[in-house]
Amino acid sequence: MAARDAGAAGARRAAEGRGRRAEWMAAWFLRLKGYRVLARRYRTPVGEIDLIVRRGRLIAFVEVKARATPVEAVEAVTPANRHRVGRAAAAWLAAHPVDGFDLRFDVVALSPRRVPRHIPGAFDADGRA
């Protein structure tokens, strides 16, 4: 039983590492597009936001997904993911009031040997695509 637990822990660590690399790549990609990163892996009691970025008067809450193909990456953003990000964004906004800013929920999809795909306004605060 201990060997299975160790294997599962190793798989979790590997997935965590892939996720951190994907978020790092997405952050740099968005910087190249003129965004400034306000927060990475913003954790709240109701969920986590991979990236919070700003460009001008726009603040975007970004879900990052890395999969084998761009289509798989986009499809990996489930309704539960979208809803979680919406709840976490509400918590961030409660702690960081931003009057006069436009808010948006984006997705950055990453896949090997391809340019990241940025989908602005991929869903709304209620998690609807």
pLDDT digits (tens, 9 = 90+) for 34-86: 999 999 999 999 999 999 999 999 999 999 999 999 999 999 999 999 999 99
Look at residue 6 in the predicted model and tell me its pLDDT: 64
Give the C-alpha distances (Å, rounded to integers) separating 23 from 6, 88, 94, 95, 113.
Answer: 26, 17, 24, 23, 16
Total count of domains within the chain: 1
Confidence of residue 7 (pLDDT cuts 50, 70, 90): low
User: What pLDDT does residue 102 have?
Assistant: 96
Assigned domain for 115 exists: yes
Alpha-carbon radius of gyration of the chain: 15
Query: pTM value?
Result: 0.88
**pLDDT for 95-118, tens place per residue?**
998 889 999 999 999 999 999 999
Query: How far is CA 43 from its chain centroid?
Result: 12
Q: Whole domain around residue 105: which residue ranges?
A: 2-123
Is the residue at 77 inside a domain? yes
